[in-house]
A and B are shown apart, each in its own frame.
Chain A
């Protein structure tokens, strides 16, 4: 087997562990729904939990590169960027599906109306739309196929994150603390990227 086989095994295990961990909230919702343990408004709970984890996982994915730049030892995190992004997309799909099924009753006409008329829905749909091509082109095959355009395309992740935070800010009735916290985290992550980009240009 040797050293190389061992490393690959560890990577697979690490990914599996991350996925298992990230699916714990989903399992909690499924169990809760079955046992009536999601509170008085289970649809709200499901929507809030799936949306919250979509956002957190997306921010975690965005944090990988800045963290790697902070400390070379954190390069081990690099492969998790994609996994985190895909997990975020999975939660975002559940979040949107819950809204479409339980708030809108599968009415496509109503969906079109809500997307057109309610800014918070527009923003959320926009975030989902921005993530979709990233999920589809997340494989190494696509990376090879698109080459440099892949990097350009995947800059959409910044837009997706910004739209998701704006979506959250828009729908909160009064207490802005939680969405503002995410906005602050996103600002820090984007700031780190901008800072690194400027440094690269300067030294080029």
Chain B
């Protein structure tokens, strides 16, 4: 188990005032013998830094700094990479497709329906979330099941704080989440590559854990659409597919809810999906990962390095069976 080293250094400038550009994906393979492969490669870093973005993302005001234990002092991933390398199949299955296609997502008006085993069901409007809750920065590692990882400075609110306002009953054993379904806004949903809507879930104690947040921003600004705007989940000790994006529904339930990737392939993706270097994916190893921005792989940490904070949730569980 590894712990987060609480940072004693002043908070670093996370990213330059950099703005994202949509990258042309040159890995669009098809069988076409395309010479575009060459032309897609020629990006110049200096050009990237100085070219203004089409519409800059709004800065989030009054963001509290991350408390010790809720931020890693590892080098954050470059904003350009965090916003151009995404798994968000609602906008295409290529890594660069969400950045190219997510501009059709309408992030206002937006509300999350909170229902099920709660004494006060209702609707959480995104504006309420942005204004009536104290926003905090959280610098977390994000580990994808595909064995790559990033370090992202999120801005959000602990999920538990939000749920408490809706008063979960004693019957609430799990929390289920759903992403938006709208083929017009999300062209990737026109193909049934996944069984839409994207669904995810947490056990109630996982949901109430202080590490789990509803993120409304990153790098000090609101979320780009390709990163799951306007509000998404971040559960840093689990594989990235658990951190569901563009949430429209939260339901408190008594039984373990269905989750999209587990439905797709139950032998490869489980409900818990805790980062675990000792439990391989059936087709590839989980012992190491590529930190985006680095050339060599690094060893993967149990619970993505958050073991000190979350291992107790799984004390009596066989994590190989409950993968």
Contacts and interface: CB of A to CB of B under 8 A. Distances in A.
Contacts of B30: 178, 181
Q: How large is the interface on B (under 10, 10 to 19, 20 to 34, 35 or more residues)?
A: 35 or more
A120 to B, nearest CB: 6
A52 interface: yes
A190 interface: no
Given A40-B81, A178-B29, A119 B292 contact: no
B33 A41 contact: no
A28 interface: yes
A105 B40 CA distance: 28
B221 interface: no
Interface stretch (B42-50, B58-66, B155-163, B303-311): B42-50
Could you tell me the dominant secondary structure of chain B's interface residues? loop
B84 interface: yes
Contacts of A24: 35, 37-38
A73 interface: no
Contacts of A132: none
Contacts of A27: 38
Interface stretch (B100-108, B135-143, B283-291): B283-291
A56 B33 contact: yes
Q: Which of B81, B148, B285, B293 has the most CB of A within 10 A?
A: B285
Contacts of A103: 297
A36 interface: yes
A45 B45 CA distance: 18
A28 B284 contact: no
A43 B41 contact: no
B35 A41 contact: no
A39 interface: yes
A52 B38 contact: no
Contacts of B95: 39-41
B296 interface: yes
A31 interface: yes
B125 interface: no
A43 B290 contact: yes
A52 B41 contact: no
Nearest to B81: A40
A167 B28 CA distance: 19
A50 to B, nearest CB: 11
A27 B89 CA distance: 31
Contact of A28 (B31, B37, B194, B290): B37
A35 B45 contact: yes
A120 B284 contact: yes
Interface string B17-39: 00000010001011101010111
A71 interface: no
Give the 7 A-B CB pairs with smallest separation, nearest first: A32-B41, A40-B85, A40-B81, A37-B43, A28-B38, A175-B93, A28-B41
12 contacts: A27-B38, A31-B42, A35-B42, A37-B40, A37-B44, A38-B41, A40-B95, A48-B29, A171-B283, A171-B284, A178-B30, A185-B31
Given A37-B41, A173-B146, 5 more contacts: A37-B43, A40-B293, A49-B27, A56-B31, A175-B193
